[in-house]
A and B are shown apart, each in its own frame.
Chain A
Amino acid sequence: MPLLSKKESKLILDPLADNNPITIQVLGICSALAITAELKASVVMAISVLFVLAMGNVVISLMRNIIPSKIRIIVQLVVVATLVIVVDQTLKAFAYELSKTLSVFVGLIITNCIIMGRFEAFALGNGPWRSFLDGIGNALGYGVILIIVGFFRELLGSGTLFGIPVLGDPIAKTGLYAYGYENNGFMIIPPAALIVVGILIWIQRAKNPSLVEEA
């Protein structure tokens, strides 16, 4: 028997492509714009969201039959906020350097609409194992886009990847810069992320016309 049934692997694979939280559902855009100026920040954010979304989905799913429906949004908020604080405090105590890199993103996770969206749309109606897979899938779908956007913005905006110069030195005019190439300052400001995400949405829908919404 395979590790995951067909239905279960669909939970992971769907959000990566045809049901991507960013390019199809257009959720989680705020953080996708804010933190993708650097590849490293994108990767760190992707991993943090992966952890919080998978854990949160499991917790909400375990509690799904006892949560009063009237206050379910508040309960979801409490769960995600608690998880985020636990992660934040633990990192501060045992991985201080990493926690400094993460500081601003950890707070941002609470406001990430994908998290609340998955709690509400999936975890409240499904078992823990399926919710866990759904969390992993959606976080990966989100992370992939973040990393693609971060890759292009850092490469074109700063000429570096993970902080390492890959196109030469812009000040000493070596590498590509010797031929008159310049970094595009526009790429490091947030509107550029919107354009990159827009291009990704365009490419995806051009390849798969069934995704195009009716006008």
Chain B
Amino acid sequence: MALNTDKNSYTVLFSVIMVSVVGAILAYLATGLKDKITENQRFEKQQNILYAMGVHNNTDESSVNFIPTTEVDQRFSELIKGQYVIQDGEATPQEDAFMIDLKKELDLIKSGRDGKLPLFIGEQDGKTYYIFPMYGKGLWDAIWGYMSVDETLTITGVYFDHKGETPGLGANIKMRFFMDDFIGESIVSETGYTPIEVVKGNNDPLNSDKSDAQVDALAGATITGNGVSAMIKESIRLYEPYFDMVRSLN
């Protein structure tokens, strides 16, 4: 029997069935995989925070190697001694503060309301690390990261990531040669806070000058680089009161 596929009633029927079938498949898939995906995201955040703190499995000069997902939960609870939420100028301890959606909180702050800012204090080999998250815009989509500073507010490590920057250009913000440049720069000078800037033509591609609060930009990725600068600036501005406190302690 030849099907008359040109009839309107058939077209409507077909659409309804197709949408139901596709919807059912996708809904089933989404609910079935949700737990697994959340767990992966949780591990990833823990890995990123530890990476910024300098806890990683890097074996050479060029590749990024995280703590394996099988160990990360345990290492995280061992090394991160405090997870705080800063709200209303008050820092209160909160478990799983790393699962806070920073984008939402920053939107709240932008609209004049109170947002929660997470902060992590890590300890390893007698040293204390203050780790804060960052979130901003690259060329195509979101960029984010974590920065870790010691009690003199010198950067001990950073981790950047992005949603969809161009491979080979903006996507290189998560490469070692870019991230490692930040280590040793200070976010404070005698004149005030100095958010690290990503600049072109500072004639310092090896970043041997650690006092200029500048790192060398990525060729061909101007907008992503500017996004990184803006993101660091914004985060440091928000955490300023807290840094004041850290400085007064030492």
Contacts and interface: CB of A to CB of B under 8 A. Distances in A.
A74 B3 CA distance: 20
A89 interface: yes
A35 B26 contact: no
Contact of B37 (A66, A89, A107): A89
Interface in B1-55: 3, 5-6, 10-11, 14-15, 18-19, 22, 25-26, 29-30, 33, 36-37, 40, 43-44
- By size class, the interface of chain A is 35 or more
A171 to B, nearest CB: 6
A60 interface: no
Interface stretch (A91-99, A113-121, A132-140): A91-99
Given A68-B5, A71-B14, A93-B37, A171 B206 contact: yes
A71 B11 contact: yes
B234 to A, nearest CB: 24
- By size class, the interface of chain B is 20 to 34
Given A37-B167, A93-B33, A188 B220 contact: yes
B93 interface: no
Given A85-B26, A171-B205, A41 B168 contact: yes
B203 interface: no
A166 interface: no
Contacts of B70: none
B25 A37 contact: no
A41 B11 contact: no
Most chain B CB inside 10 Å of its own CB: which residue of A40, A93, A163: A93
Contacts of B15: 71, 74
B62 A38 contact: no
Interface of B: 3, 5-6, 10-11, 14-15, 18-19, 22, 25-26, 29-30, 33, 36-37, 40, 43-44, 62-63, 140, 163-164, 166-169, 205-206, 219-220
10 contacts: A35-B166, A38-B167, A67-B5, A68-B11, A78-B18, A90-B33, A96-B40, A103-B164, A104-B163, A189-B220
